[in-house]
Amino acid sequence: MPWGVGLFLVYAFLILAGVGLSLGAVVEQAVLVPITFLGVVMMALLAYTIFTTTLVLQRKAAARTLALGLASLTLPAIPLALVYGQLIIAVFVATFGALLYRGLRAPAATAWLDQP
């Protein structure tokens, strides 16, 4: 497995852990209102992450494009961290996003994700 794909899997499992930890707030809101914006966004993120991770583990070629889409979620975190004055976190997220993007665009990752 190329390092870019491994880094993506770590990123995907971090997203899944974050969604799992935040589901308590979604369930609390669902008691009052059955459909909330936060709940819809979290369920869409959960479904997209699980689907993309499954395709990556199956080495499907379509997983590369979906993984790049999921990697683009690091971009809004950079200005958000800067707005809150967290320069170190912004630099870390920018570096992580750049490594993730470069790793997924590498020829080794393209060759590894070769199943139709």
Tell me the DSSP string of 15-79: HHHHHHHHHHHHHHHHHH-SS-HHHHHHHHHHHHHHHHHHHHHTTBTHHHHHHHHHHGGGTTHHH
Per-residue pLDDT for 94 more than 90? Answer: yes
**The pLDDT value given to residue 20:** 93
> 109 burial class (0-12, 13-18, 19+ CB within 10 angstroms)?
buried
Per-residue pLDDT for 30 more than 90? Answer: no
pLDDT digit string, tens, across residues 60-84: 999 999 999 999 999 999 999 999 9
If pLDDT is split at 50, 70 and 90, which confidence band does 48 have? very high
What pTM did the predictor assign? 0.90
Nearest alpha carbon to residue 7 among 56, 77, 51, 80: 56
Q: How many CA atoms lie within 13 A of 65 on its CB side?
A: 2
